[in-house]
Structure 1
């Protein structure tokens, strides 16, 4: 029999003790734990209590406690060092296993293997080609007529049908503040061009959220952002103007398609056509009304406005309409269903390229197109295809890199027949989450998070909670995937790669005049390489990240990772040329005074001299423009019978919503203007004038 070898750990562990037994012979010098090679350690056969009892059997009191805690600290340092050493080196036997098969569905797991084994490669390629041609032809026959054939009516007297986006259209309303010119004479342009108050519109699908405004729009003393932009209306008609009327009046600057969804006349799933009619008579007030399809209640406005519209019956008599409904949901369902056989039966490379190409063009042409095509414009569809091709080539280049750096390892079948590949896991995990990312505009975009900037997060209710949940989720997924990378023995490599990524982002954030913007397509590009493992977690993470990458690349293009501060403001106030500041109002004389140049203005005086005209808005319409003056007789302006708003003011005093003192509110804002142009500075917040009592409430600080 071989002689029993002593346990190394027993001798070395006793050498760690700082205590010597005084009754025994002198012991060898104490060895520093840091000098002990980690490979020399083996698990001890003695328990901790036995070791401590043996080391400290002749010690007592304070000396015992001091030595005990000193030894425990050394043990903790050793364990910490051993942990990081093992973390850096990796497991002794690295492994990266494929997702386990679903044992209860073994027949379905084996079916793709039998198909690829028994059907020759040439036949499979021919079959795939025929299948893709059929797939393309089916989508072409459904989608292209909607994009190229103008909507029409069986009645030749029906006005031209206008294809709109879900949000604003300059053909209907030019914009906020003084964009419609003096007295609002430039709006609504559609009525002036058509010569008829009736207008038929065609709206795309998903206008329940597409009609949101992401830039600040002032309505009286309200600041509207991150919600649907429709004022008044509702399907509970208070007083009918004509028998075919279906809704109360909406303020004319409301988004028409958003208002139609709010009124329940157009479905957010299928889109559709609607007929609206503009009122020539001013509306004295607009009450908030409950919306359909889960959209927000409309915005209330308690004073008069220059113009309004209401919806009426679309079909008059036996009239019928064609090409009104948006087929994007049908196209989406077809692409999801027809993609299943490819994901289930085809090789990893075929799955990757076919599904990603389909996902890109599904976004571009159907679910979230970068431009809405007006079928009456011959160049509309061509422009959309041109824009799609402009983004498609660089997208394919990035997909090629992602395939070779990460996805090839996850989706490709094993070369050895001994390894089992779960085709069902690819179908059940990778594929659904891929489409969840592709449909970012109806999934993650509906979270109360617009952009990861402090100002945006403060303006959206629930944004901080949503961001916290997103950060926690990403962190958990990152830890899981980091462990998978460690198990595969590649932790050091990826730690270096992601250290470079983080350092690069930090350096980009330091560029003066630019703000770091990690768009969701960039976030996907950064995270996909870290998912270069096999197994279920990699399938899930890669699926959703690839979908998010395509969503950003197809819809928005490869936007810059660092953007100027001005571009991030969208259509929000720029703060470059400040408006005058209201300082005083004499209710007796009716004189309103303001300070021309704010004390905290950073612009030079020459810039303010350029904006030498003063523009005054009453109820969000420009009604007064004059040269560089510092006061105005507001009472004379409001009582002037020749003023363009005088009749509206008198009608509102008779029929409007009054407070307890019999007053109606008038909202007054002031701004600067370059003479004889349509170039304006920012405007002030609204001061509220209670009329006819003449009580003025000065505005809160801020710009609109």
Structure 2
């Protein structure tokens, strides 16, 4: 259901509390570092809880309004993983800054909040999913991936240098090589696609940051924020997913219906209330595949689902532009929708572009 307010409505815009919540939470974390100065492990747990609930309630809730049952369902596993991250990484680094609270605040909090707000800080990076298909289809995706890989490699080389000085390099290499071999084996499982979610990437990189250096602190802050963003916004998604899982609500490659009404046949001299739009029947070849109906979106709201080949425009506001998308349905589920038809108030009909929405 969608709503459109009339010009004489007394209702105003809603209040967006996201920036207020962000300011309060940033201030709270700063005060924890430089004023209250709790024990390192307590400070760590404050960061885990504040970051998780900021994402779950304000910056990137999974639904509107935020589903508390879903958030609490992910919170307990987050605490369990968080304890593991403390054991393998944070407990070796954060205490080293106990006598330098301001420095610790700078090194930890700036990258931490950049990670918590991953949906904003990485919004302009043309990579949606770390899969080969997505990277090749997104304009600039390959270039962005190369830059990210170079940055990660530079950080890894530095951490390898640090680990080598401690004498633990063979031990770390053994575990990372073992993990890489397991990931390689998983990637070749038939019928499934290997998907490195960003919360998994952060978990995998954490052990290599467990050293008392400034760069380790910066990496820990960002990785913790990125981990919390991933699990709070999307849950603990599987490392192996089917093609349908990865497609989500995107195009699936299903056949597309065709509008009979087009820019040539539409008569703008007829009032909108008397207009009817038409589309083609389902080809017999598609009927045998199970496609047996249509779904029509009007202004991105489903207004019709059934077997008819037309839809009356009576009831639509003639003073506003309208958009129509059409899809085949199979057993009540819609396939891909067409690109939108645009009908302007002056009667101009703009045919849809080719391909799915």
- TM superposition score category, shorter chain reference: 0.7 to 0.9
- Aligned residue for 1:364? 56
Q: 1:464, 1:531 → 2: CA distance?
A: 27
1:563 to 235, 241, 247: 241
CA contact (8 A) 1:614 1:670 kept: yes
- Number of aligned residue pairs: give it: 332
- Aligned residue for 2:151? 473
> What is the CA distance between 1:367 and its match in structure 2?
2.5
2:15 to 304, 325, 336: 325
> What is the CA distance between 1:541 and its match in structure 2?
0.7
Do the aligned partners of residues 350 and 594 (structure 1) sit closer, same or farther apart at CA in structure 2, a change above 3 Å counting? closer
Q: 1:507, 1:484 → 2: CA distance?
A: 30
The superposition leaves residues 616-675 of structure 1 with CA deviations (integer Å, 9 ceiling, x where unpaired) of 999999889758xxxx9xxxx8xxxxx734899xx89xxx9xxxxxxxxx999875445x
Normalising by structure 1, we get a TM-score of 0.41
> What is the CA distance between 1:540 and its match in structure 2?
0.8
Question: Pairwise mapping of residues 243-392 of structure 1 onto structure 2 (< 5 A)?
Answer: 276-277=5-6, 312=7, 315=10, 324-344=14-34, 345-373=37-65, 383-384=67-68, 386-392=69-75
- Aligned residue for 1:115? none
Q: 1:507, 1:561 → 2: CA distance?
A: 12
- Aligned residue for 1:82? none
- Aligned residue for 2:104? 426
Structure 1: 5+ residue stretches without partners: 1-170, 173-189, 191-198, 200-275, 278-311, 374-380, 415-419, 638-642, 657-665, 689-696
CA contact (8 A) 2:116 2:225 kept: yes
> What is the CA distance between 1:431 and its match in structure 2?
2.1
Do the aligned partners of residues 496 and 366 (structure 1) sit closer, same or farther apart at CA in structure 2, a change above 3 Å counting? same
Q: 1:617, 1:333 → 2: CA distance?
A: 39
Matched, 1:596 2:286: no
1:397 to 62, 80, 83: 80
> What is the CA distance between 1:436 and its match in structure 2?
1.4
SS at match of 2:190: coil
Structure 2: 5+ residue stretches without partners: 266-277, 343-350
Do the aligned partners of residues 451 and 341 (structure 1) sit closer, same or farther apart at CA in structure 2, a change above 3 Å counting? same
Question: Pairwise mapping of residues 114-513 of structure 1 onto structure 2 (< 5 A)?
Answer: 171-172=1-2, 276-277=5-6, 312=7, 315=10, 324-344=14-34, 345-373=37-65, 383-384=67-68, 386-413=69-96, 422-513=100-191
> What is the CA distance between 1:593 and its match in structure 2?
7.7
Q: 1:397, 1:411 → 2: CA distance?
A: 19
CA contact (8 A) 1:579 1:596 kept: no
> What is the CA distance between 1:534 and its match in structure 2?
1.3
> What is the CA distance between 1:464 and its match in structure 2?
2.9
Q: 1:372, 1:593 → 2: CA distance?
A: 37
- Aligned residue for 1:98? none
SS at match of 1:412: helix
Q: 1:314, 1:594 → 2: CA distance?
A: 42
Runs of 4+ in 1 over 6 A off after TM superposition: 580-583, 591-595, 614-625, 666-670, 685-688
The superposition leaves residues 287-318 of structure 1 with CA deviations (integer Å, 9 ceiling, x where unpaired) of xxxxxxxxxxxxxxxxxxxxxxxxx36648xx
CA contact (8 A) 2:71 2:232 kept: yes
CA contact (8 A) 2:339 2:352 kept: no
Do the aligned partners of residues 617 and 369 (structure 1) sit closer, same or farther apart at CA in structure 2, a change above 3 Å counting? closer
The superposition leaves residues 252-289 of structure 1 with CA deviations (integer Å, 9 ceiling, x where unpaired) of xxxxxxxxxxxxxxxxxxxxxxxx22xxxxxxxxxxxx
> What is the CA distance between 1:474 and its match in structure 2?
1.1
- Aligned residue for 1:518? 196
> What is the CA distance between 1:369 and its match in structure 2?
2.5
CA contact (8 A) 1:517 1:562 kept: yes
Q: 1:471, 1:484 → 2: CA distance?
A: 20
- Aligned residue for 1:644? 312
Do the aligned partners of residues 433 and 579 (structure 1) sit closer, same or farther apart at CA in structure 2, a change above 3 Å counting? closer
> What is the CA distance between 1:355 and its match in structure 2?
2.1
Do the aligned partners of residues 313 and 593 (structure 1) sit closer, same or farther apart at CA in structure 2, a change above 3 Å counting? closer
Bigger relative contact order, structure 1 or 2 (CA pairs below 8 A, ≥6 apart): 2
The superposition leaves residues 14-37 of structure 1 with CA deviations (integer Å, 9 ceiling, x where unpaired) of xxxxxxxxxxxxxxxxxxxxxxxx
Normalising by structure 2, we get a TM-score of 0.76
The superposition leaves residues 520-573 of structure 1 with CA deviations (integer Å, 9 ceiling, x where unpaired) of 111100001011111111111111101111111222211111111101111223
Q: 2:240, 2:118 → 1: CA distance?
A: 22
